[in-house]
Amino acid sequence: MKILSAQQIHHWDAYTIAGEPIKPVDLMERAATACTDYIAQQAFLHKPFKIFCGKGNNGGDGLAIARLLLNRHYNVSVYIIEFGAIGTDDFQTNLQRLHEMNVNLHFIQSEAFFPEIKEGEIVIDALFGSGLNRPLKDLSAALVQHINQSKAFVISIDVPSGMFIDKSSGGNAVIQANVTLTFQQYKLCFLVAENAENTGKLIILDIGLLPGFLEGIETIFQIVDIAIIRRIYKPRNPFSHKGTYGHALLIAGNTGKMGAALMAAHACLRAGAGLTTLNVPAAFLSAVHAYLPEAMCQLREKGVSFEKINVVGIGPGLGTAGDGLQLVEQTLNEFKHPAVIDADALNIISMHKKLFRSIMPGSILTPHPKEFERLFGKAENDFEAIDIAIKKSAELNCVIILKGTYSLIAGNGKGWFNTTGNAGLAKGGSGDILTGIITALLAQNYSPVEAALFGVYLHGLAADMALGTQSQESMIASDVVNCLGTAFSGLVGG
């Protein structure tokens, strides 16, 4: 699913209005009905509602919701922030419809008109929508602060008022919503950590915008969905053999961190690599053979051999001292195929920036936010970090996976956000198994972008399936590896 700008969202509305055809006010009614249906499913019937509206189309949504709630016998008061200008046409239509009902309607002309908001009340924020392009100030900012200081339950319509949809809102006055009801699809603002506290629980409501619009537009960002993954997936040939699916080498593990190497290798095997070899210190040879009899080993003391190796994954548990630098330098200088570079290998590169020049085109870098900062410098906000990832992936001709709640896969000048996974992945080892999965997919001749998209999606999907037997608190990385088979079956419709 493509992620649209504010202007593109407006054009999608217009495309639907022309294509159905449907009147703009009736499309607004459809959106308001979807919001009201959601609200009606919650335990709010006997709670007072205060609905705050601007004079744009977001305010029109709020007025329509007020009318629909009144029709369902909710206790509703409406507050319209007054700037002296007339509202949009659809706002005015819904205001006229509301005047025909017995409604408690107020106009806010100054801070003296702010109502008391009591604990237990429900606030609906319909002040400003996705078209906002400048920070709120004066009366608008004061009203947002007044709502935020209350102990009411806040539902924002479209976006929390004051939030920009495609740039940082840091330092601005923004509604702190408990729930945000947005329309049709994700917006970029909901995919970054800095907006999480203001967004609250995100609910995406289908309001029937015509999908044909998406076919004719270009966007930088997309959501990775099951349709994309099913197009990427390559079913196995029944006449294949182990050589068909590549030979993966994992250079990983060291004293105190051999678990990282074992988890990465286990995931590599489960994700389909034909052969998996671990390069480890000799002292840990017996541990590998006991835990993973399917894996082969190279003894680190005898060096690294890339003979007959299709793909290398390097970094999990490697350490940055000792022979870590030598191993990274050797891999980057001698292995002439894309590699998966993670963890301590990334930290070593960040300490020796000249190594950037040796990264093979098509390689996949998998930093978490702190590793990303060490590699590329501190970003002022999440949106700048996204921009850096896109630019650096193009500059290095590689794929960058910036790990997070909605991990960003940056490559080919574009960015994809992944929506599988859960907070159970916030455990040591999760990144190690992601490295193993992606390494296995590269070994099976998926392109770097395909391997990254497929790997991140599969990793998250397996974590979601692990919740069938574990909680987010109890889940460990091995649980995720053990669910890879079910995840593969689920995503290919098996």
- Rounded Cα distance between 238 and 229, Å, is 21
Question: In this structure, are 239 and 162 located in the same domain?
Answer: no
Q: Is 248 helix (H, G, I), strand (E, B) or coil?
A: strand
Radius of gyration from C-alpha coordinates of the chain: 26
Q: Which of 175, 202, 218 is where one domain is finished?
A: 218
pLDDT at 494: 47
The amino acid present at 162, given as its one-letter code, is G
Tens digit of pLDDT at every position of the chain (494 positions): 899 999 999 999 999 999 999 999 999 999 999 999 999 999 998 999 999 999 999 999 999 999 999 999 999 999 999 988 899 999 999 999 999 998 999 999 999 999 999 999 999 999 999 999 999 999 999 999 999 999 999 999 999 999 999 999 999 999 999 999 999 999 999 999 999 999 999 999 999 999 999 998 999 999 999 999 999 999 999 999 999 999 999 999 999 999 999 999 999 999 999 999 999 999 999 999 999 999 999 999 999 999 999 999 999 999 998 899 999 999 999 999 999 999 999 999 999 999 999 999 999 999 999 999 999 999 999 999 999 999 999 999 999 999 999 999 999 999 999 999 999 999 999 999 999 999 999 999 999 999 999 999 999 999 999 999 999 999 999 999 999 999 999 876 64
pLDDT at 216: 87
Q: Which of 218, 238, 256 is where one domain is finished?
A: 218
Question: In this structure, are 197 and 250 located in the same domain?
Answer: no
Contact call for residues 64 and 92 (beta carbons, < 8 A): no
Question: In this structure, are 205 and 252 located in the same domain?
Answer: no
Question: In this structure, are 284 and 343 located in the same domain?
Answer: yes
356 DSSP 8-state letter: G
Structure tokens, 474? 């109890």
- Closest C-alpha among 178, 180, 110, 106 to residue 143: 110
E-assigned strand segments in 206-331: 221-224, 247-251, 275-280, 296-299, 311-314
Residue 191 lies in a domain: yes
Question: In this structure, are 152 and 182 located in the same domain?
Answer: yes
Question: In this structure, are 314 and 366 located in the same domain?
Answer: yes
Which residue range(s) make up the domain with 469? 226-491
pLDDT at 84: 83
Question: In this structure, are 254 and 356 located in the same domain?
Answer: yes
Q: Which of 177, 202, 218 is where one domain is finished?
A: 218
- Rounded Cα distance between 430 and 147, Å, is 39
21 preceded by cis ω (within 30°)?
yes
Tell me the sheet residues that pair with 296: 277
Cβ neighbours, 10 Å, residue 211: 11
Contact call for residues 427 and 476 (beta carbons, < 8 A): yes
Residue 426 lies in a domain: yes
Question: In this structure, are 329 and 380 located in the same domain?
Answer: yes
Residue 422 lies in a domain: yes
Question: In this structure, are 245 and 346 located in the same domain?
Answer: yes
Q: What does the CA dihedral 6, 7, 10, 11 come to, rounded to 10 degrees? A: -140
Residue 70 lies in a domain: yes
Question: In this structure, are 349 and 393 located in the same domain?
Answer: yes
Contact call for residues 127 and 159 (beta carbons, < 8 A): no
- Rounded Cα distance between 235 and 244, Å, is 12
Residue 1 lies in a domain: no
What is the tally of structural domains in the chain?
Answer: 2
- Rounded Cα distance between 246 and 38, Å, is 49
152-174 b/e (C-beta count within 10 Å ≥ 16 → b): bbbbbbbbbbbbbbbebbeebbb
- Rounded Cα distance between 463 and 479, Å, is 8
pLDDT at 493: 62
First to last CA, the chain: 23
Question: In this structure, are 342 and 406 located in the same domain?
Answer: yes
According to DSSP, the β-strands at 414-418 and 408-411 are antiparallel
- Closest C-alpha among 433, 370, 425 to residue 402: 370
359 DSSP 8-state letter: P
Spell out the alpha helix ranges (H) of 187-310.
196-199, 212-215, 226-232, 258-270, 285-291
Residue 40 lies in a domain: yes
Question: In this structure, are 209 and 252 located in the same domain?
Answer: no
29-58 b/e (C-beta count within 10 Å ≥ 16 → b): bbbbebbbeebeeeebeeebbbbbbbbbbb
Strand order in the sheet with 49-53: 104-108, 76-81, 49-53, 122-126, 153-157, 179-183, 201-205
According to DSSP, the β-strands at 122-126 and 221-224 are unpaired
399 DSSP 8-state letter: E
| Residue 419 CA to its chain's centroid (Å) | 5
Residue 352 lies in a domain: yes
Structure tokens, 232? 């990427």
Give the domain CATH number at 323. 3.40.1190.20
Q: Is 104 helix (H, G, I), strand (E, B) or coil?
A: strand
- Closest C-alpha among 63, 480, 454 to residue 232: 454
